[in-house]
Amino acid sequence: MQTNKDFNNGKQLEDDYQESNIKKTLSQQEEGKKDSNDRCCGSKRASYILKGCLFTVILLIITALVVLPQVFSGTASAVDNSNDAKSRFPAPTSVDPPYPTNTTSSPNNNDTAFTPDPRLHQSFYGIDYTPHGTLYQKQCGVKYQDVLEDMKILQQLTTRIRLYGMDCDQASMVLRAIKQLKANMGVVLTLWVDGSSVTYNRQYNIFWQVLKEFGSDHILGVSVGNEAIYREQIVTSDLIKLIKDVKNRLQKSGHSHVPVYTTEIKDLPNLIPEEDAVMDNVHPFFAGTLVEDAANWTWEYFFNVDQYPTLLTAKQLDLNASQTKPAIISEVGWPTYPKDSKVKAAEPSVDNQRILLETFICEANKRQVPYFWFEFKDQPWKAIEFNETRESYWGLFDKDLKLKHARLPDCYTDKWKKGNNTVIQPEPLRSLD
């Protein structure tokens, strides 16, 4: 691009060159006059013609100096206006999406605008969420703009989300999006445990960095591991040591109000005394139940395996209701595909997921059962990672954020409030006696 300085320097050189040529021409003319003193009238006529040509050349040069800069300036302005038009009016999409769009997407990381989706309601107590591209082994790949768009939808569904790890800046991105959207949302953070000290130390260090950067206002709790004992990647005694370490360090750093636990379905009697809450993944699908019976099966399982032991412990220690450790369903849901991947009477399908949504969500809210729906959107990587197609299709939305259902439940649920990590609890199904 030509600058004004370049143009002025060029103009000065051109003026100097023109002045030199004019002086040279006049000098030559004067010399010609001396030689023409003894010439006839024809020589005088030639002199007049020469002067006329010289005047015309000078006039053309001056005109060019005045007009050309305006022409080039107008061209540059037209190019700039053309670029402005491209940025303001992006090319339309080639086809209309099969479902209504959920949010207004934008490449601008500061874009907090979105169009509320009338099919969505804040009816979920909590939802499990994994941003796409957060596999450390796959060199990450998660983008903040994608997380922001996810959070625009999630805030219309729930005030609580649960993450599965700390890798790839996922926790930082989620908390940043919550802050940017000014959303009333809390997050359960998970330190992933897989039997590798390298993995755990990486997760552990990132967690403290996140806590330092964002504080604990939007942290609902910390889960040290997710079914690590069930997967036989750690023994109970070692997991308890990790839990105690995180609890002690939180207390020393002024965050003693943040509860610490694990998410586990095995060895609960030994874990419960050491954690601040019981988190259990409760899946009627894997129990092989008919979807019509799934909600009732979940109430029974939750009481017998999770709530009853905490109530019994509190009774033995003579604790009141506020001192009793809460029990939480950390996962409950239903897969939508493939249909032939059954577990006994449990069949994956969109219709069956809809049935569980309709029979479980509002009733759980009414009973005050705390739960996290599994999960927000489909995860294509799981089919490859676990060699199990069904694992990828538990989402309310598909991988492209298209809602699988015509509508979602619309009913009241307990809303999280900043600074309040109290967990609601249902009335026991039966007496402890």
227 counts as catalytic: yes
The rounded distance, in Å, linking the Cα atoms of 357 and 344 is: 20
Q: How many CB atoms lie within 10 A of CB 360?
A: 25
Which of 227, 264, 347, 375 is an active site residue?
227
- Quickly list DSSP for 11-54: HHHHHHHHHHHHHHHHHHHHHHHHHTTTS-HHHHHHHHHHHHHH
Burial of 293 (0-12, 13-18, 19+ CB in 10 A): middle
Pairing state between β 371-373 and 219-226: unpaired
DSSP helix, strand, coil percent of the chain (3-state; round to 5): 50, 10, 40
Q: At what angle do helices 197-214 and 236-252 cross, to 10 degrees?
A: 20
CB 155 within 8 A of CB 181: yes
Closest to 274 (Cα-Cα) out of 340, 332, 229:
229
Which of 275, 331, 347, 375 is an active site residue?
331
Compute the Cα dihedral for 414, 418, 423, 424 and give only its sign: negative
Q: At what angle do helices 170-181 and 144-154 cross, to 10 degrees?
A: 60
Contacts of 79 (CB under 8 A, 6+ apart): none
CB 329 within 8 A of CB 298: yes
Compute the Cα dihedral for 139, 140, 145, 146 and give only its sign: positive
Which amino acid would we find at residue 246?
A: V
Which amino acid would we find at residue 182?
A: K
What are the φ/ψ torsions at residue 41 (nearest 5 degrees)? Answer: -60, -30
DSSP H stretches of helix in 256-379? 268-271, 294-301, 308-316, 350-367
The residues annotated as belonging to the active site are 227, 331
